[in-house]
Every structure is written in C-alpha cells, then in structure tokens.
C-alpha cells in the first residue's frame, strides 16, 4: 500500500480563462506536488508498476479582486465559471499498461547491466506526464490570505531509450502515449477474429515496449479441433479496434460551476489514476456577457490512495 502523506492539502490558482472557448489553465501533477510539500518521494505506481489511484476532494473558489474594496465576481453578476476535470480512464488497459511499461523499463536497464544501486534514489518507478514533453503543470501555492508559488524541488522525469528510438517523457494521454503504446505491444485484434493464422495478429512493428522487452517470445500457432472451435464462435470484438481511439481518451470525472447564482464554492470527489489530472475551464453568462478572463482558485485535499 502507498504511504499516505501527512500534509494532504494543495492550493492552486488557475490563470486566464476565456469567455469564448474552453481554456486549459493547466494540469495537476498531484504526485509531484505532494512530494514537494511533504519532503519525501511520492509515486504514480507501486514497485511493480501497478498505478495508484489518488482520491481527492477538489474545490474551486472565486478569485477575490483587491482594490479600494475587495470584490468577488465584480465584472458581471451573471457570470458562471465552469471547470471540467479529466483523468486517465480506470480500465484494465490503463492498469496493465503501467505494469508492462514498468517491466519494459526494468529490462532496458537489465540488458545494459545497470544495477538498481547504480540508479537514482527516486528512479525505482516511472514518472509520467499528461500529454506533453514536458507538461505545463500548475505549481501549488503557499501562504495564508495572499498566496505565492511554492518553492519546488527538481522533478526528474523518466526517459526511455532503445537502439533506434528515444523518449524524453512518458506521456499518459497523448495519441502515442502509454495506453496506445501498450495496445500496440499486444497481439492485435482484428474485426474477424477467426483467422487460421496468427501471422497478421502480431504487435505493431514500431512498438517501443516490445523493443524494450526484447528478446521476445514468438507467438505459437496451433491448428487442432479445439482451436478451430474457439476461432469459430463469438469472434467479433464488442469494442473499437483502433489503438489510438476512444479507449485511450481521458474521462471527464466532473464538471463544476461557481458564480453568484451557482454558489461561491463547489467541491467534488475525484479518483485520479496515476495521480495526474487535466483541467478545462470557461467563463459563461446568463446574459450577453463579455470577454472576461478572470481565473479562480483550486483547493485539493487528498482523501486516500489505492491500487488500481
């Protein structure tokens, strides 16, 4: 089980938010930020690569504008601020992808004769990003009343290398990210699964995970009555076959509203696999409105950590 940090509160500030289109005010790397404020390592997965799911209470609060008199929602009493929170899908694909990538990385070091004692103190598990190399994660705030950015340490991201490829960051949710790489590394599922040969059902040729795990075992073919029977029934997969399709897309866990008529503070409980989540926000109006770009404050309270 994961060690629960004693300091469980993280505060953030979302910057400029559009009144015309959805804006990404940043993503949250809860693992990195909990490590910084607790002064000890926190990980995305356990020592076998199984993802941790971070259960948090997420609350958004309006920004207080200071001046002669402090005001809240001073621009337009009809404005409602909306926050959409997305996470990695909590599926077998996301879980197994973390485990397989972990062992692929361990094999990378093993093949090069690198011992664990020769690696960095915090190099025993993979450190992920959301969908960029690197991501623009929000920095937690410190202080009381007037907040300032927390003085963070150095968060070294995981890099991977094979003979003919190199990856500076392991992304979770990009089209070529962890989940897609995992599906590429598996025996491919065809629209008609009752094929007589496994020759067309191999992993993709450019699978980074397969290269990291090499030498690999071939897939044996069998041709007996039981195999034939198995191939001839229930052979249409009830899901999308695209390795870069909806199965690797983020999941919207919540949509939160605050405003004079929606409440000045709203909170939801989120389960975030790998401890990383993405934010999209917009300022909306009941009337014609205006292009007001005021942000809001975000409070995150860690409630628990469990293995996926």
What per-residue confidence (pLDDT) applies to 187? Answer: 77
pLDDT tens-place values along the chain, 308 residues long: 678 888 888 888 887 788 788 888 889 999 999 988 888 889 999 999 999 999 999 888 777 665 555 556 555 566 777 888 999 999 999 999 999 999 998 888 888 788 887 888 888 899 999 998 888 899 988 877 677 888 888 888 888 887 777 888 999 999 889 999 999 888 776 666 666 555 555 667 678 888 888 754 333 343 343 333 334 434 444 444 677 766 677 877 777 777 765 566 678 888 888 888 888 887 766 556 666 677 778 888 889 898 88
Dmax (CA) of the chain? 85
What per-residue confidence (pLDDT) applies to 231? Answer: 41
- Residue ranges making up the domain that contains 120: 9-151+163-307
Residue 137 lies in a domain: yes
Residue 107 lies in a domain: yes
Residue 205 lies in a domain: yes
Residue 226 lies in a domain: yes
Nearest one of 22, 42, 105 to 276, comparing CA atoms: 42
Residue 75 lies in a domain: yes
Question: What is the DSSP pairing of strand 79-87 with strand 276-285?
Answer: antiparallel
Residue 157 lies in a domain: no
What per-residue confidence (pLDDT) applies to 163? Answer: 74
Residue 173 lies in a domain: yes
In the β-sheet with 276-285, what is the strand arrangement from edge to edge?
23-29, 276-285, 79-87, 251-258
**266 Cβ neighbours under 8 A, 6+ residues apart:** 59, 60, 256, 257, 258
- Helix H, strand E, coil C: the string for 196-228 is CCCCCCCCCCCCHHHHHHCCCCCCCCCCCHHHH
Residue 145 lies in a domain: yes
Q: Is the dihedral of CA 54, 3, 91, 207 positive or negative?
A: positive
In the chain, the number of structural domains is: 1
């Amino acid at each position: 089980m994961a060690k629960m940090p004693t300091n469980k509160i993280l505060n953030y500030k979302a910057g400029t938010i559009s009144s015309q289109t959805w804006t990404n005010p940043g993503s949250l790397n809860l693992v990195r930020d909990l490590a910084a404020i607790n002064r000890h390592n926190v990980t995305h997965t356990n020592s076998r690569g199984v993802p941790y799911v971070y259960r948090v209470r997420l609350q958004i609060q309006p920004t207080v504008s200071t001046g002669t008199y402090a005001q809240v929602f001073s621009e337009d009493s009809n404005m409602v601020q909306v926050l959409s929170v997305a996470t990695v899908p909590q599926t077998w694909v996301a879980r197994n992808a973390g485990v397989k990538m972990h062992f692929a990385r361990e094999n990378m070091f093993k093949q090069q004769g690198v011992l664990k004692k020769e690696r960095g103190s915090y190099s025993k598990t993979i450190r992920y990003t959301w969908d960029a190399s690197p991501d623009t994660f929000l920095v937690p705030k410190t202080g009381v009343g007037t907040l300032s950015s927390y003085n963070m340490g150095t968060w070294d991201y995981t890099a991977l290398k094979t003979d003919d490829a190199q990856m500076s960051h392991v992304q979770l949710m990009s089209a070529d990210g962890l989940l897609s790489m995992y599906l590429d590394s598996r025996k491919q599922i065809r629209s008609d699964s009752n094929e007589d040969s496994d020759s067309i059902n191999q992993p993709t040729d450019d699978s980074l995970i397969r290269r990291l795990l090499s030498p690999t075992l071939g897939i044996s073919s069998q041709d007996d009555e039981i195999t034939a029977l198995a191939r001839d029934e229930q052979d249409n997969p009830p899901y999308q076959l695209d390795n870069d399709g909806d199965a690797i897309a983020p999941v919207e866990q919540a949509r939160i509203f605050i405003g004079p008529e929606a409440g000045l503070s709203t909170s939801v409980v989120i389960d975030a696999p790998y401890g990383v989540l993405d934010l999209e926000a917009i300022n909306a109006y009941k009337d014609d409105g205006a292009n007001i770009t005021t942000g809001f404050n975000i409070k995150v309270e860690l409630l628990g950590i469990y293995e996926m």
